[in-house]
Structure 1
Amino acid sequence: MSTISTTDTTWFFACKTTDVPPNGGVCVKYKDEQIALFYFTRTDKWYASQNLCPHRRQMALSRGLTGTQQGEPKVACPFHKKTFSLEDGRCLNDEHECAITTYPVRLEDDRIYIGVSNTY
Structure 2
Amino acid sequence: MSIAISTNTSTSTAIEWFYACNVNDVPNNGGVCVKYDDVQIALFRFARRDAWYATQNLCPHRQQMALSRGMTGTHNGEPKVACPFHKKTFSLEDGRCLSDDTECSLTTYPVKVEGDQVYIGIMQEA
- What TM-score do the two structures reach when normalised by structure 1? 0.93
Mapped partners of 2:30, 2:102: distance in 1: 27
Q: Give how far 1:6 is off.
A: 3.1
Mapped partners of 1:5, 1:25: distance in 2: 25
> Residues 82-101 of structure 1 correspond to what in structure 2 (within 5 A)?
82-101=88-107
DSSP-derived class of the 1:42 partner: helix
Runs (5+) with no aligned partner, structure 2: 5-13
Once the two structures are aligned, what percentage of the paired residues are identical?
A: 69
Q: Can you list the C-alpha shifts for 1:18-74, whole angstroms capped at 9, x where unaligned?
A: 000011000000110000000111111000000000000000000001000011000
1:22 aligns with 2:19: no
Q: CA RMSD in A?
A: 0.9
1:66 aligned partner? 72
More strand as a share of residues:
2
Task: Name which one, 1 or 2, has greater alpha-carbon Rg.
Answer: 2
How many residues end up aligned between the 2 structures? 116
- What TM-score do the two structures reach when normalised by structure 2? 0.89
Mapped partners of 2:95, 2:43: distance in 1: 13
Runs (5+) with no aligned partner, structure 1: none
1:36 aligns with 2:42: yes
1:12 aligned partner? 18
